[in-house]
Amino acid sequence: MTSQTPADGAGRPAAKDPWDLPDVSGLTVGVLGGTGDQGRGLAYRLAVAGHTVVIGSRSADRATAAADEIGHGVLGRDNAGCARESDVVIVAVPWEGHAPTLAGLREELAGKLVVDCVNPLGFDRKGAYPLVPDEGSAAEQAAALLPDSRVTAAFHHLSAVLLQDPSVERIETDVMVLGESRADCAVVQALAARIPGMRGIFAGRLRNAHQVESLVANLIAVNRRYTTHAGIRLTGTGL
Ligand SMILES: NC(=O)c1ccc[n+]([C@@H]2O[C@H](COP(=O)([O-])OP(=O)(O)OC[C@H]3O[C@@H](n4cnc5c(N)ncnc54)[C@H](OP(=O)(O)O)[C@@H]3O)[C@@H](O)[C@H]2O)c1
């Protein structure tokens, strides 16, 4: 983990280097809904990066079968077992299963760092559009349902197709990481950086998660127009 930041001459703590991220290589990562495309892709990439990865499912048998298909030592458990055995737990279930899944795992997720990557979207004949959860965003719903967990939001803008394709060696994209605790966000940023080509960028508190989740509707439009798997890059001095 990072060292304490020295104080400046006036006794104020100097601003911490935002690229000074903790060593997360020893963390076990769980993926709820890990039998789906996004979960499989993240599990594959993080396992290749050297993490112990546990994918979760509503069915332990489905989880085991999917884990065997992914390989690289990925383990399969039911969602509760996945949550219990992991240090960091990525939520990768469809929006419609988000609230019931998390409400049922409050105990197992207590004390854990939860990373929500769920994009509440609707689809009609005009394409994808954002839904507006009562809580403001999927991430804020997670925080409301999991008061004993450390909830962050990240990995919204990744292509599950690219994540799962072993011929793709680098995924050149930024991962916007949101949360109430800078230390927790730094862990998630460091986790993103374990995947070649990716950077984790702190992008604000959970109250700003809605527009990050919603941006996926725009990326889907880009994908359709240009037949691609669009990601995002943030630019600017210091980035
Ligand atoms: N696909 C992408 O490119 C992508 C990119 C970024 C973010 N995301 C987000 O990641 C999440 C998962 O996306 P996905 O494409 O992987 O979804 P998915 O394949 O439709 O679902 C993932 C897994 O969730 C479980 N599940 C399905 N319905 C459920 C329900 N009602 N309650 C609880 N679990 C349920 C299923 O596993 P079991 O049947 O084994 O339990 C399924 O394999 C979504 O919220 C999406 O917004 C997706």
Taking only the tens place, the pLDDT of each residue in 150-183 is 999 999 999 999 999 999 999 999 999 999 999 9
pLDDT classification of 6: cutoffs 50, 70, 90: low
pLDDT classification of 16: cutoffs 50, 70, 90: confident
* Ligand 1 center from residue 95 Cα (angstroms): 8
Given a cut of 90, is residue 14 above it in pLDDT? no
79, two tokens: 């969602």
Taking only the tens place, the pLDDT of each residue in 123-147 is 999 999 999 999 999 999 999 999 9
* Ligand 1 center from residue 49 Cα (angstroms): 22
Pairing of strands 113-116, 121-124: unpaired
Taking only the tens place, the pLDDT of each residue in 30-84 is 999 999 999 999 999 999 999 999 999 999 999 999 999 999 999 999 999 999 9
Round the average pLDDT of the chain to a whole number and report it: 95
Contact (CB, 8 A) for 133 and 120: yes
* Ligand 1 center from residue 189 Cα (angstroms): 22
Contact (CB, 8 A) for 156 and 212: yes
pLDDT on residue 208: 98
pLDDT on residue 8: 60
Number of the ligand 1 atom closest to the C-alpha atom of 213:
47
135, two tokens: 């809580």
Ligand 1 pocket (Cβ < 6 Å) reads 33, 35-39, 57-59, 62, 92-97, 101, 117-119, 156, 158-160
Of 202, 107, 171, the C-alpha closest to 145 is: 107
**Could you tell me if residue 118 is left (phi over 0), alpha (psi between -120 and 50 degrees) or otherwise beta?**
beta
Given a cut of 70, is residue 193 above it in pLDDT? yes
* Ligand 1 center from residue 56 Cα (angstroms): 11
pLDDT on residue 7: 62
pLDDT on residue 15: 75
* Ligand 1 center from residue 117 Cα (angstroms): 10
Q: What is the mean pLDDT of residues 214-230?
A: 98
Contact (CB, 8 A) for 200 and 217: no
The secondary structure element, H or E, covering residue 57 is strand 52-57
Cα–Cα distance measured from residue 126 to residue 208, given in angstroms and rounded to the nearest whole number: 26
Cα–Cα distance measured from residue 192 to residue 175, given in angstroms and rounded to the nearest whole number: 7
Contact (CB, 8 A) for 52 and 109: no
Percent of the chain whose predicted confidence (pLDDT) is above 90: 93
Cα–Cα distance measured from residue 101 to residue 115, given in angstroms and rounded to the nearest whole number: 14
Q: Which residues contact 140 (CB under 8 A, 6 or more apart)?
A: 133, 206, 207, 209, 210
Number of the ligand 1 atom closest to the C-alpha atom of 163:
3
175, 230, 168, 202 alpha-carbon torsion, rounded to 10°: -10
Residue of the nearest CA to atom 22 in ligand 1? Answer: 36
The secondary structure element, H or E, covering residue 65 is helix 60-70
